[in-house]
Amino acid sequence: MEDPNWKSNYTTSEALNARHHAWARHAWTSGPFGADLVPQELDKSDKILDAGCGTGVHLQRLSERFPTAHLYAADLSSAMVLAVREACPGVDARRADLESLPWASDTFTGVLCLHVLYHVTDIPTVLGEFSRVLKPGGWAIVSTVSAGAGQEIVNLHNEACRKAGMSQWRVASIPSARFNTRNGGRYLRRVFTRVTYYPRRARLVFSDCEPAIDYYSSMEYYKAVERTAPAEAQRIQSILRLAIEKHISRDGSFTISKNCGTWLGYL
């Protein structure tokens, strides 16, 4: 069964770590993101929430830039909360549904929510929670991917599935179909009075096949097959490997477009 929210993908930190590994070694980016867009200097009176914190890579960046600010984290996955507590021991990390945050109203100066909202069930409710826990005049930094982000690897996966006689991954189940740079702004403008959009160009460029396969193998459309039909998953991966090797032989690399964007919104 397909998991449109990718919750199964985050029951451990393994898959997310694999994707962070790919970004650290194979990414090209141009444009601001995350902590780059914090609109003020932060001090010990400021409390910042990373909503959907993952393994804490953005919290580490925040703590480097703003060492005196009080940092908080929320994630639905217990594995992610444990990873943050290990990587960022000074952060108050809690398991929480973003649709019902466990903090009082008017608690935070700012909220970061980076590449998360396409995974939640009720986007307006989550943004309403951000508004509730933010102080008057508070801000939120919300990022997402472009509508076509990652389509190159999805297309190869579906073609491999077709050749293997397996069901293809439906476009509607890809996170970018739910909340992307085209449709995301309208959600933000219903909640925040002043919203600015910042585009970011990005791509993953693999000159060797194995790192590309490691990245692909972390994605939910592959994991979903692996959980239910491991033998077929290996066949699909072998077919896809040949396709990536063909790209690298012909072009010198295999590239996955990952353009994205971020909104900075003020209450």
Mean pLDDT of 229-252: 96
DSSP-assigned beta bridge partners for residue 196: 264
Residue 1 in this model has a pLDDT that exceeds 80: no
**pLDDT for the residue numbered 173:** 63
Ramachandran area for residue 253 (φ above 0: left; ψ -120 to 50: alpha; else beta): beta
**pLDDT for the residue numbered 267:** 96
Mean pLDDT of 21-36: 96
Q: How confident is the model at residue 64 (pLDDT cuts 50, 70, 90)?
A: very high
- 1 inside domain: no
- 184 inside domain: yes
**pLDDT for the residue numbered 176:** 72
Residue 91: give its domain's CATH number.
Answer: 3.40.50.150
**pLDDT for the residue numbered 152:** 96
- 191 inside domain: yes
**pLDDT for the residue numbered 2:** 65
- 20 inside domain: yes
**pLDDT for the residue numbered 234:** 96
Residue 107 in this model has a pLDDT that exceeds 80: yes
How many domains is the chain built from? 1
Q: Which of 219, 207, 226 is nearest to 175 (CA)?
A: 219
Mean pLDDT of 131-159: 95
Residue 161 in this model has a pLDDT that exceeds 90: yes
- 198 inside domain: yes
- 258 inside domain: yes
- 2 inside domain: no
Percent of the chain surpassing pLDDT 90: 91
Q: What is the pLDDT of residues 75-99, one digit of tens each?
A: 999 999 999 999 999 999 999 999 9
Q: Which two tokens stand for residue 212?
A: 């590309």
Residue 196 in this model has a pLDDT that exceeds 80: yes
Parent domain of 62: 7-266
Mean pLDDT of 179-196: 96
> What does DSSP say about strands 254-257 and 194-206: parallel, antiparallel, or unpaired?
antiparallel
- 153 inside domain: yes
Residue 124 in this model has a pLDDT that exceeds 80: yes
